[in-house]
Amino acid sequence: MKRDFLRLWDLSSEEIDLMLEKAAELKSGKDVNKCPLIGRSIGLLFEKASTRTRVSFEVGIYQMGAQVIYMNPREIQLGRGETIHDTARVLSRYLDAIIIRTFSHNTLVDFASSSSIPVINGLSDLHHPCQALADLMTIFEKKRRLKGIRLAYIGDGNNVANSLTEAASRMEINLKIACPEGYEPDPHIFEEARASAKSEITIVRDPKEAADKADAVYTDVWVSMGQEEEAEEKKKKFKDYQLNSKLLSYAKKDAIVLHCLPAHRGEEIKDDVIDGPQSAVFDQAENRLHTQKALLEFLLTSR
């Protein structure tokens, strides 16, 4: 039976543990010559521009012995009116899995409902689960544990924040999200995660309260792709939510700094923080490669 990865909760905590262990092995160079996906073909269907998601998946797929088929919706029949369902059924005959990066999360849900191959969410407006896997790997690398970690997320309650709430719930991380009123994570996702969590998942207004004694402090851009018309208004409302050295000083002395990138330097994060000694941002970006390789192997070889 095929498995999809549309949100972090598509994996159990035990499966996440196994995936992070496998990702660490891959990063260490173990089985470097092993090609578990040789002969497979994996599609990338991207509606949104991408740096890390596209390159990390393309490199990882190549390293695992498979080939990549990159598709821009404007260049295939989907862009001329063919339905998502027909496209999914046809591509299922050619490919072994597909990664989709899109605006509406419903596009992923509809595609997966008609697909007979695994569908992976490379990013949607509601979830960014591949990023959350890399976040978990990075925290574990630096702190050697996940359970009981105090994670502060400062900024917009966007798709990254939504997936972090699910990650916190699954892995017993204490998560405090600091955001202005009206910019909270999706209420259904947040309440669902909090209701099932064995850890504390809360929303506060004061970023200093969130950062207080945190093991990791995470931020993201204030204006996501597709929200450019809101840019000036959001910058005004988020001006007190910048991750700078003063805010970081409220966290533990050995706290790490996280950002999923791209960063708008000077807005949500200052240069001396993202480039400073506590930054794990570029390790976090690298870990996209390793966790996604582990994810692909899990979805394609454990069926």
Which residues are catalytic, by number? 101, 128, 131, 220, 260, 288
Contacts of 184-187 with C-beta under 8 Å, sequence gap 24+, read 184/157, 185/157, 185/158, 185/161, 186/126, 186/157, 186/162
Residue 270 to residue 195: CA distance in whole angstroms: 35
Residue 98 to residue 47: CA distance in whole angstroms: 13
Q: In what order do the strands lie in the sheet with 174-178?
A: 201-204, 174-178, 150-154, 216-219, 256-259
Residue 111 to residue 106: CA distance in whole angstroms: 8
> Residue 141 to residues 18, 136, 191: CA-CA distances in angstroms?
14, 9, 29
Residue 266 burial (10 A CB sphere; 0-12, 13-18, 19+): exposed
Q: In this structure, which amino acid lies at residue 302?
A: S
Residue 197 to residue 187: CA distance in whole angstroms: 15
Residue 303 to residue 294: CA distance in whole angstroms: 14
Q: Is 103 left (phi over 0), alpha (psi -120 to 50) or beta?
A: alpha
Residue 260 to residue 275: CA distance in whole angstroms: 14
